[in-house]
Amino acid sequence: MAKKKIEVGPPTFAHEQGFWNEGKSFVAGIDEAGRGPLAGPVVAAAVILDRDAYPLRLNDSKKLNDATLEALFAEIMANAVSVSVGLATHAQIDEMNIRQATFHAMREAVLGLSVPADAFIVDGNALPQGLGKVAKAVISGDALSLSVAAASIIAKVTRDRMMREFAVQYPHYGFEGHMGYPTKAHVDAIAKHGPCPIHRMTFGPLKSAA
């Protein structure tokens, strides 16, 4: 018998509240976009929300359409205490591996916060080194924590905008449609045209072309 899928969310401030109760006023949610694609960077965002002024429609970015994502991006940027983005390029991903490149992007995002965070909530099951002791990893954090949901939106919208720009530079690959993920159309385009300068040469079908 197939396992029933467990739905989580909508996100709340429950995880943040635990830190607030300890006197940690500025809690940053951290999430990334772009671990799985064959091309482009992995982008991470760190967001400290204003608990009294945040978008009411915040949710896991994967559950939202493009129009809602863009609207929420603008609201987060206008009202959050601090927002920062970090990234690792395709070349850094090939050099470090995707796990370490993701952690690098997360650390870059944290360093860019204009207001230093007192604590961190990171989407996933592992923490990047260097955040300090006041941090916790939360599986499905983007569906459970409002701060992480906000970070997921900032990361996704930022990366999608970058991939649309790359689509203009490298029009043969259709990046504007799949954002670099390994769709059949993308894999077929690589087979026909070969890799372009932003492809990750250590990923899937690109390994043989390296």
| 73 φ/ψ angles, rounded to the nearest 5 degrees | -55, -50
Q: Is residue 7 part of a domain?
A: no
Q: Is residue 192 part of a domain?
A: yes
- For residue 5, pLDDT beyond 50: no
Between CA 98 and CA 88 the distance in angstroms is 9
Identify the weakest region by mean pLDDT among 116-120, 143-147, 158-162, 203-207.
203-207
- For residue 210, pLDDT beyond 60: no
Between CA 182 and CA 34 the distance in angstroms is 11
Q: Compute CA 86 distance to the chain's CA centroid, rounded to the nearest angstrom.
A: 10
Distances 51 to 13, 82, 98, 139, 191 between C-alpha atoms, Å:
8, 12, 33, 22, 49
Contact between residue 68 and residue 57 where contact means Cβ atoms under 8 Å apart = yes
- For residue 142, pLDDT beyond 50: yes
Contact between residue 179 and residue 162 where contact means Cβ atoms under 8 Å apart = no
Contact between residue 59 and residue 31 where contact means Cβ atoms under 8 Å apart = no
Q: Is residue 199 part of a domain?
A: yes
**Number of domains making up the chain:** 1
* CATH number (domain holding residue 68): 3.30.420.10
174: left (phi over 0), alpha (psi -120 to 50) or beta: left
Q: Is residue 3 part of a domain?
A: no
Whole-model pTM? 0.93
pLDDT digits (tens, 9 = 90+) for 17-62: 999 999 999 999 999 999 999 999 999 999 999 999 999 899 999 9
Q: Which domain holds residue 96?
A: 14-209
For residue 167, name the pLDDT band (cuts at 50, 70, 90).
very high
Q: Is residue 116 part of a domain?
A: yes
